[in-house]
Structure 1
Amino acid sequence: MANHIKSQEDILQKLNIQVLNPMQEEAIPLIENTTNTILLSPTGTGKTLAFSLPLLTILDPESPDVQALILVPSRELAIQIEQVIRSMGSGYKVNAVYGGRPVSKDKIEIKHNPAILIGTPGRILDHFNSERFSKTSIQTLILDEFDKSLEVGFEEEMKAIISQLPNLNKRVLTSATQGISIPGFVRLDKPSIVNYLDKKTPSKLTIKTVVSPSQNKLKTLVDLVHHLGNAPGIVFCNLRDSINEVSAYLNRQNISHACFSGVMEQKDRERALIKFRNGSSQILVATDLAARGIDIPELKFIIHYELPRHEEEFIHRNGRTARVNSKGTAYILKWERESLPEFIKDVKGIDVSSKSSQKIEPKPQYWETLFISGGRKDKISKGDIAGLFFKQGGLNKDQLGNIELKPDCAFVAIPLSLADELVEKLSNSRLKKKKVRITVLES
């Protein structure tokens, strides 16, 4: 059951959004008033907001049950949507469940039914089969990044889930890919379609090539990073071995970075994103897993250290920059004897060699991330954490970076030079009624 339900105007004001984009303007009333909707729009155009705002208007604030189910292909996307909806401060309870973490955590979080449940198909089906909440109350189903869920092999799980939802009266399917095939089990009869994949809006993305004289492109990669002025960005690789190779070289060059790939434990992936978001890591070295469905700040650039094999992957990678109304650049790092695939045409080259006058010396890492062993379930707020670091830690406002609050822990960015001192000073302090352990978050 919800309290203090906010209007759309209040939510947009809280999110500091003055104007919705054309896709959102078209999609929101359609989703609100239509039984079946397909929303096709490029990565980074605000699809989550486009389906979340109308969803909040159709929920019943008096209902104690799960009313809406959002199925997603990845844990990262589940977490991102949960954070977006929570940030709206709507008054409705929302939870995300996903594989890679103990089911016991899920049980604690959904002991009191959320109005909106988000999850990966495998974990949602597990909860369905265990009868942990009523399924008859679920009336809205949102299949976000539906094509990706099919691509990674969730078709059978989604089929089993939908077959157990007898009272659905609204279905929304989203994708950033054109021409997706929708299986019959989705029962998406005569859908209304919002398609912004075909819209010829002026692109704010610039694509440039950077030529490496050597087949080993590591030195050229670092030259490019320095050329870009130490700004945050993603370096995309195709293989885990490439990520390891790039990471080792960046370590030798003292460039702060985090790695992100499907072979990593879920906890480690989440923490890599936390460090990237708060500035403790300048670079995220990642596979295509980072091309969609992760919550990171606006980026000015991405780098293709290795080119993807297909145009679709190239588009999704590039979608991490030049999002919505911002400009961005995708850099293609290529060996001088390497040919570009046919889907990449008319790109300009730039020189980032040591002879280039635009080279910028790297700045030392400023931020470090501290782990705090208490979170929302302990009634701890961001204000409590800030107060601890201001009053007992002696920090000023400029020395306290981003705070991320999780159900059972929190993470805070502070100056690297003060990390050890703050750990010694603040560990075993009390936040609310809980004595918390504070440590430096290891990479």
Structure 2
Amino acid sequence: EALAEANHLVLLSPTGTGKTVAFLLPILASLDPEVTEIQALILVPSRELAIQIETVVREMGTGYKVNSVYGGIPATKDKMAIKHRPAILIGTPGRVSDHIHYENFATEHIKTLVLDEFDKSLEIGFEDQMRDILQALPNVQRRILTSATQGVKIPFFVGLRNHTTVNYLDQGGESQLTIKRFLSPEKDKLETLVAALKHIGPQPGIVFCNYKDTIRRVSDYLEENGIGHGCFYGGMEQIDRERALVKFRNGTHQLIIATDLAARGLDIPELGFILHY
């Protein structure tokens, strides 16, 4: 109800609780089928999240055209895709900012702006691009910001005025998670990690690392110990990231080593465990 009525909304909800559908429904209800330009813009921090939201819109069978744009592929391919204007455009701030700079689409018909996982976009350095994008949107009437993090400061340039906040972060009920701590006798935790994985046994899981250099080091050690896995972090080529996710989802790999890029908005069902290295 708040999503349908509020013009400026901050939606705080844990990852995997349906935020995407929640903000898509009022967007779809507000689209004008007579308008042939982009009417809603959704900014996301990663290519994977852009693709995922695009897939959700297509699966809803709305009849409205939707496209996603992001780095890792030639911008000319984007330009061809959006030549026939979508009603909804999803993209990473860097690529969307480039398209606006080169006037590849009109912005005056964009009435709804969604900043999905906006704190993550700010964290990874998209603030300048986001500011440029907002300055290029003269007629935005509705702003929706989503996050899975409590207490994140909203930048002034977003232009929220008298906004409504819907907070589901503290309403998760009783947790079904079992939390365990593995103590490493050595500062180098690689042997402890392998021991923990063997203790947990064969089930799908994610090992989170803080840095991509750590991922490479962990990956090399797991490979030496015959533990199959994939890797997922921001410095990888898009095709390699997508391949890693496909292998993880189809069971080729039961383990993926990742930065927190994999924690934001990716649909990875039936996880058996998560290890924070």
- What TM-score do the two structures reach when normalised by structure 2? 0.92
Structure 2: how far apart are the matches of 1:250 and 1:83?
A: 33
Residue of structure 2 equivalent to 1:153: 125
Q: SS of the residue aligned with 1:174?
A: strand
Please report how far the alpha carbon of residue 154 of structure 1 lies from its aligned counterpart in structure 2 after TM superposition.
1.8
Residue of structure 2 equivalent to 1:101: 73
Runs of at least 5 residues in structure 2 that lack an aligned partner in the other structure: none
CA contact (8 A) 1:92 1:114 kept: yes
Percentage of identical aligned residues: 62
Structure 2: how far apart are the matches of 1:105 and 1:275?
A: 26
Residue of structure 1 equivalent to 2:164: 192
Partner deviation per Cα, 1:182-232 (whole Å, 9 max, x = no partner): 223222111111011233622222210123444443343333323333111
User: Which residue, 122, 131, 134 being the options, matches 2:94?
Assistant: 122
Q: Which has the higher contact order (CA 8 A, sep 6+)?
A: 2
Residues 162 and 205 (structure 1 numbering): CA distance in 2 closer, same or farther, change over 3 Å? same
Please report how far the alpha carbon of residue 140 of structure 1 lies from its aligned counterpart in structure 2 after TM superposition.
0.6
Residue of structure 2 equivalent to 1:210: 182
User: Which residue, 280, 288, 299 being the options, matches 2:271?
Assistant: 299
User: Which residue, 242, 246, 254 being the options, matches 1:282?
Assistant: 254
Matched, 1:63 2:35: yes
Please report how far the alpha carbon of residue 241 of structure 1 lies from its aligned counterpart in structure 2 after TM superposition.
3.2
CA contact (8 A) 1:74 1:293 kept: no
CA contact (8 A) 2:204 2:270 kept: no
Runs of at least 5 residues in structure 1 that lack an aligned partner in the other structure: 1-28, 306-443
Structure 1: how far apart are the matches of 2:125 and 2:186?
A: 39
Structure 2: how far apart are the matches of 1:241 and 1:156?
A: 27
Matched, 1:73 2:40: no
Residue of structure 2 equivalent to 1:54: 26
Q: SS of the residue aligned with 1:96?
A: strand
CA contact (8 A) 1:39 1:172 kept: yes
CA contact (8 A) 1:96 1:118 kept: yes
Structure 2: how far apart are the matches of 1:118 and 1:92?
A: 13
Residue of structure 2 equivalent to 1:39: 11
Q: For residue 254 of structure 2, what is the amino acid of its counterpart?
A: Q
Residue of structure 1 equivalent to 2:140: 168
Q: For residue 153 of structure 1, what is the amino acid of its counterpart?
A: G
Residue of structure 2 equivalent to 1:251: 223
Structure 1: how far apart are the matches of 2:191 and 2:54?
A: 39
Structure 2: how far apart are the matches of 1:212 and 1:158?
A: 42
Q: SS of the residue aligned with 1:209?
A: coil
Q: Equivalent residues in 2 for 1:393-412 (5 A)?
A: none
Residue of structure 2 equivalent to 1:141: 113
Q: How many residues align?
A: 277
CA contact (8 A) 1:236 1:288 kept: yes
CA contact (8 A) 1:76 1:295 kept: no
CA contact (8 A) 2:36 2:85 kept: yes
Query: Which has the greater radius of gyration?
Result: 1
- Of 159-168 and 138-147, the range deviating more from structure 2: 159-168
Residue of structure 1 equivalent to 2:201: 229
Residue of structure 2 equivalent to 1:132: 104
Structure 1: how far apart are the matches of 2:212 and 2:155?
A: 33
Q: For residue 66 of structure 1, what is the amino acid of its counterpart?
A: I
CA contact (8 A) 1:144 1:174 kept: yes
Structure 2: how far apart are the matches of 1:36 and 1:216?
A: 48
Q: SS of the residue aligned with 1:208?
A: coil
Residues 150 and 217 (structure 1 numbering): CA distance in 2 closer, same or farther, change over 3 Å? closer
Q: Equivalent residues in 2 for 1:9-28 (5 A)?
A: none
CA contact (8 A) 1:69 1:116 kept: yes
Q: SS of the residue aligned with 1:303?
A: strand
Q: Equivalent residues in 2 for 1:285-434 (5 A)?
A: 285-305=257-277
Structure 2: how far apart are the matches of 1:132 and 1:107?
A: 7
Partner deviation per Cα, 1:29-59 (whole Å, 9 max, x = no partner): 2212221111011222221121112222221
Please report how far the alpha carbon of residue 173 of structure 1 lies from its aligned counterpart in structure 2 after TM superposition.
0.8
CA contact (8 A) 1:276 1:284 kept: yes
Structure 2: how far apart are the matches of 1:139 and 1:231?
A: 45
Residue of structure 2 equivalent to 1:264: 236
Q: SS of the residue aligned with 1:32?
A: helix
CA contact (8 A) 1:176 1:197 kept: yes
